[in-house]
Amino acid sequence: MDRAAIDSTIRSLIEPFNRKSVEVADATTFAGDLEFDSLTVMDFVAAIEDEFDIIISMNQQAEIENYGQLVDAVMKMRGE
């Protein structure tokens, strides 16, 4: 699965959490632009983990501030 495919999958996963219909780009931040609270982050991370069969540690979550970083992290965790 290449970056474009991972990006597309994550975009579909983020849709139900994107309540303000923010245009998602690599620089889109979860806290600032999407206004995700801690519960939303946990639910979204669970959806990502289930879809890609990966585990995103709390330390990794703290380092991922924007959408592009998330896509890159998923690629790295999947070894792609």
Query: What is the per-residue pLDDT across 20-31, written as a single tens digit (0 to 9) for each?
Result: 999 999 999 999
Contact assessment for residue 7 and residue 44, using Cβ atoms and an 8 Å cutoff: no
CB 67 within 8 A of CB 33: no
* CATH code for the domain in which residue 51 is found: 1.10.1200.10
Q: Find the domain containing 53 and state its range.
A: 3-77
Looking at the 3D structure of the chain, how many domains does it have? 1
Q: How far is CA 49 from CA 2, 20, 44, in A?
A: 17, 23, 9
* Model pLDDT for residues 40-80, shown as the tens digit of each residue: 999 999 999 999 999 999 999 999 999 999 999 999 999 86
